[in-house]
Structure 1
Amino acid sequence: MVLFALIAIGGATLYWSRDFVGLADSRPVEGQRNSSATTGQSGSGNSTEVVDLSDKQAGAVKIGPVGSRDFVIFKTAVGTIDFNENMLVQVFSQYQGKILKAFYNIGDDVKAGDVLFTIDSPDLLQAESTLLAAAGVLELQKRTLARVTVLLKAGGSAQKDVDQSTSDQQTAEGAYKAAKDAVRIFGKTDAEIDQVVDKRKVDSTLLVPSPISGRVVARNAAPGFLTQPGVAPPPYSVADLSTMWMLANVIETDAPAYKVGQEVEAKVPAYPDTVFKGRVTTVGSMIDPNSHRQFVRSEIEDPQHLLRSGMLASFVIRVGDPVRSVAVPAAGVVREGDGTMTVWVTSDNRHFAKRTVTIGLQQDGWTQILEGLRSGETVVTDGAVFLSNKLLLGDAG
């Protein structure tokens, strides 16, 4: 038993000694450095990685002073294009009837007042018939009043007959005016109404004009189609395409950033080089409990009528005033393997020190630097990846 214990103690001692030796061998040897890339110690205690370039190698990079730029605070999202429903009109006839003619097709441009279709309206026929009857009664009452007035002067009638005829004539005038107004509601002009009375001929054809100028975006009208007011589908839909809506549902965390009146820039795949501008007009007052998104609607200017309802659109909404910050060109910033962002600082275009920075926005080829650089320092503006590779590869780079 004593012999067994001594053997166990000796083995543990040997294992501990071997482990200690391994740790000692893993320490860097003093003075061991790469001739092209070196690692020094800064005054703050943080390691500084430096790369030295020859004259020929220095020509592969560009340097410049660190400046400042305005960065726009914005949010991005994806939405769909739709008609501006404030300028989209479903054109119905005011009265039911059978469509006689339809004059425009989808895609045609119309002006306010252009006749879209006509219908055979029994209501118009009844109104014109009532007008003719009222006109006949008025004419009869005028003649009766004139006759009893002459007889009164000749002593052949009493005053009460004249008074009665006067009352009847005034009643007939009121009925005639009401009948004219009833026909005028159908869109008939005074000249057309007078023509109906003069020729004693009714016309049941009702004209249905476009209430706005725009483009026909939907048509369900055809000869023989029976239409009724407010009953879908409408015979025609006309939209003013000078502006369109962009509808989007933004994530809940971005909801507080959106305000009515913010500027919008939208792009659609059909016109990748065209930027459509507009403003936010509506911000939803609730968050969808299922998707946790908020509704945002923007009105987009489209004077050339390029946008189509249903198009997919990506948009940028400016949610704040521009912020002026330190910035370097995007080619001067390198994403390292561990995810950190670095730049290369120099004072003589020969010795370059790598510095870790915190970046913010990236706009128009520039990167916002939040921490790690000061305005006026000289950095690599193009070729930073070359320096990072050379540091990694050493002389082999």
Structure 2
Amino acid sequence: MKQWMRPGRLALTVAGLGVAALVVKAVWFSPPPPPQVTSAAVERGDLEVSVLATGTINAFKLVSVGARATGEVKRLAVALGDKVKEGQLIAEIDALTQQNELRDAEASLRSAEALLTARRATLAQADLAAKRQRELASGDAGARADLETAEATLNTARADVESQQAIVAQARIKVDTARLNLGYAKVLAPMDGTVVAIVTEQGQTVNAAQTAPTIIKLARLDTMTIKARISEADVPRVKAGMPVHFSLLGDPDRRIEATLRAVEPGDTTLADATTATGSSTSGSSATASAIYYNGIFDVPNPDGTLRINMTAQATIVLAQAKATLSIPVAALGAREGKSDRYKVRVVGAEGRLEDRQVRIGLNNRVRAQVLEGLKEGEKVVTAEAAPLGAGAGASGEEHHPPPGR
């Protein structure tokens, strides 16, 4: 019985030693686990470098239609939102005063013309008298004094006619002016457009003696103009002709395309930056706030979706690439001098990491275009987890290999 149990104990001992050997190997001699990293795939898609700007939508052309006649607005012929044609009646102002002025001017003209007719008759009579005196003087039948008197009367008559002709001309000008002022009592549309504001209501009295009062505001809404505020840090890179796209706060998913028409040479506060004497404000106040410049672009508005003073979230495209490879900017490592080459870490087979050099093109600070060095679908490291035990020295702990290693 004892002889039989000895081989069994030996087998159990050998098995126990084998298990212990496996545990020791797994703990102290197994390869380290792959590093814990965050990675991202190399993707293909469109990439653009752009400048963001917030803009305000305005009418392509906005006109304040004013009255040039003084009086009560007897009739307002349009309503808010009406579409009008050039020359269409907008409003009528009480024209009684202008009508009286026209009648008075016409009466003065008729009086001046009648007096001119009389002056011409007097001239004809003086001319005949002068001729008779000349004939008598040629035959030594008349007195020299009579001839001189007739000549003087003739010259006076001619001067009176010329003076009265000037008076008639002045009277005609007054008639034309009075007729023009009477025409101002009818306010007409200066262009095709839409009534976007009613400033003066029917029944109000307007006074055009001091300033032209506005009756309505008329705008062309078939095309809208957007003024986008561009930061002074970005404006050197922005040029006319660059593509632009924008969206509305109420419809952020709709992308509207346009082309940058111009960048205003002065900043957005230039119109208000002069004092009463015409000099510019002090530098301290000018630098107290950020400086912006207006980038201007136009966009068709056939359906009237765009409205005055809407906010446009605009993107000015500086450069773009279609269907190109790109990686997150966080994956870029050290740059090789001032070249376009960077070092990245690629996740290889079985999670192994390898360093690779890539050539980068466009970089919009979120993603970078890969020109060479990577293939679509490969994974690049964007962040690495700190190794276990990092910072142990600070806590006073040390890690040593097992004895015999």
Maintained 8 Å contact 1:334/1:342: no
Which whole-Å CA distance do the structure 1 matches of 2:348 and 2:205 have between them? 79
1:152–1:299 distance in 2 versus 1, CA, 3 Å: same
1:282–1:362 distance in 2 versus 1, CA, 3 Å: closer
Maintained 8 Å contact 2:77/2:91: yes
**What runs of 5+ residues in structure 2 fail to find an aligned partner?**
1-23, 131-149, 270-285, 332-343, 382-405
| 1:214 equivalent in alignment to 2:190 | no
Which whole-Å CA distance do the structure 1 matches of 2:112 and 2:85 have between them? 40
Alignment of 1:123-272 (within 5 A): 124-125=98-99, 127-148=101-122, 151-152=125-126, 159-160=154-155, 162-183=157-178, 185-186=180-181, 188=183, 206-229=185-208, 234-271=214-251, 272=253
Query: Aligned residue for 2:143?
Result: none
Maintained 8 Å contact 2:44/2:376: no
SS of the residue aligned with 2:296?
strand
Deviation per residue, 1:219-278 (Å, 9 max, x gap):
022232112347587211111223333344444533433344543222113444241424
Maintained 8 Å contact 2:93/2:186: yes
Which whole-Å CA distance do the structure 2 matches of 1:93 and 1:232 have between them? 6
Deviation per residue, 1:300-350 (Å, 9 max, x gap):
2133132112222211112x344689615x8xx7989xxxx987678xxxx
Taking only aligned residues, the RMSD between alpha carbons, in angstroms, comes to 4.6
Maintained 8 Å contact 1:326/1:374: no
Query: Aligned residue for 2:307?
Result: 308
Match for 1:108: what amino acid? D
Query: Aligned residue for 2:58?
Result: 82
Identity over aligned pairs, percent: 18
Which whole-Å CA distance do the structure 2 matches of 1:378 and 1:151 have between them? 112
Tell me the TM-score normalised to structure 1 length: 0.59
CA radius of gyration, larger in:
2
Deviation per residue, 1:53-109 (Å, 9 max, x gap):
xxxxxxxxxx9xx8988743311233332334xx21111112322211111111111
1:257–1:168 distance in 2 versus 1, CA, 3 Å: same
Query: Aligned residue for 1:104?
Result: 78
1:160–1:96 distance in 2 versus 1, CA, 3 Å: same
Worse-matched range after superposition: 246-255 or 172-181: 246-255
Which whole-Å CA distance do the structure 2 matches of 1:150 and 1:285 have between them? 71
Q: How many angstroms does 1:177 deviate by?
A: 3.0
Deviation per residue, 1:106-131 (Å, 9 max, x gap):
11112222221121257634641442
Maintained 8 Å contact 2:70/2:207: yes
Query: Alignment partner for residue 290 of structure 2, among 289, 292, 305?
Result: 292
Query: Aligned residue for 2:260?
Result: 279
Which whole-Å CA distance do the structure 2 matches of 1:126 and 1:355 have between them? 98
SS of the residue aligned with 2:191?
coil
Query: Alignment partner for residue 72 of structure 1, among 27, 44, 48?
Result: 48
Match for 1:289: what amino acid? T
Tell me the TM-score normalised to structure 2 length: 0.58
Q: How many angstroms does 1:135 deviate by?
A: 2.0
Which whole-Å CA distance do the structure 2 matches of 1:120 and 1:321 have between them? 60
Query: Aligned residue for 1:369?
Result: 369
1:141–1:109 distance in 2 versus 1, CA, 3 Å: same
